[in-house]
Amino acid sequence: MARIREIKKRMVAVRTIQRITKTMQMIATAKFTASLARSRATRPYTDRIRTLVVQVAAAAGDVESPLLKAKGTSGREIVLVISSDRGLCGTYNSNSLRTAHRLIKERQAAGKQVEVFAAGKKGLSYFRFANISVAETIDIGDKPTFEQVQELAQRLMDQFTGGIVDAVYVVYTRFITNSRQVAESMPLLPISMPGGEGEKAAASAVFEFSPDAATLVNELLPRAVKVSLFQAFNDSIVSESVMRMVAMKAATDNASGLGRTLKRDFNRARQGRITTELTEIVSGAAALE
């Protein structure tokens, strides 16, 4: 009797958990759809402005910009780590935080003083646990706007051009497909111009600059930094949503399987109890004869 009651309680608990995880899966699916639409909407603009920066800089020749080279040698660098505010999203946080920790150790081993900027409560908790001081906490939320990211990017550029820091890195999770998300570190500042055949082709093209090339480059480079950082936040939000959706679906499926196992155990226990009672009745009737 006690075993049957225990199994029934577990069945009720598993059904409750299954309803919760199913609801969380549906919410994550809705958020993933919305965030994916935002990320896809900004991706073409981000890719195009990066290509435009390379083409203009290559065709203009030796154009100087404060964003292309560190102004001083302060030995200080910023690592901006993008994580989530909530858990239950699979390996999303662990992958990005492990990448960030490795980058911080590498830069410290190179003799740099690293300042950590944490965007997300999970990252803040992790760095506190790892005894890594956080210089600033960034509160962007799960629906970042360009105005929010633009303000953050401008502050980072001001510190870089002012010689306060020598480099800025961003650790985020890049969304590739629904089944593939990669945690990576992106050098945000100084801006590095990619080389290769694409740049040679751009340099061979003839451009007529109006205004002059230096003005155009100095206008495009800050914009490229801002949209690159905005795209990193959008990719991170999409990756978080899809990984939470997958995690909650796996939890729902596991709860369903456990529920079937408990139901089978319950039926076996009830059948055993009925058999025992019938045996006792028959034995009692036989004893009275």
Q: What are the pLDDT digits (tens) for 22-64?
A: 999 999 999 999 999 989 998 898 888 888 887 777 776 666 7
123 neighbors 94 (Cβ within 8 angstroms): no
Across all residues in the chain, what is the average pLDDT? Answer: 87
| pLDDT score, position 289 | 66
Q: Domain range for residue 70? A: 27-245
Q: What pLDDT, in 10s, does the model give residues 105-125? A: 999 999 999 999 999 999 999
Question: Residue holding tokens 């830069």?
Answer: 107
What's 159's domain CATH number?
3.40.1380.10
* Residue 93, in any domain of the structure: yes
State the pLDDT at residue 219: 84
200, pLDDT greater than 50: no
| 41 domain-assigned | yes
In a domain, 221, yes or no: yes
pLDDT of residue 223: 92
CA 221 → CA 43, 51, 103, 132, 216, distances in Å?
17, 11, 25, 32, 9
In-domain check, residue 5: no
Segment 13-27 shows an average pLDDT of 94
289 assigned to some structural domain: no
Domains of the chain: total:
1
Specify the DSSP element, H or E, that contains 244: helix 213-288
In a domain? residue 255: no
At residue 268 the predicted structure's pLDDT band, cuts being 50, 70 and 90, is confident
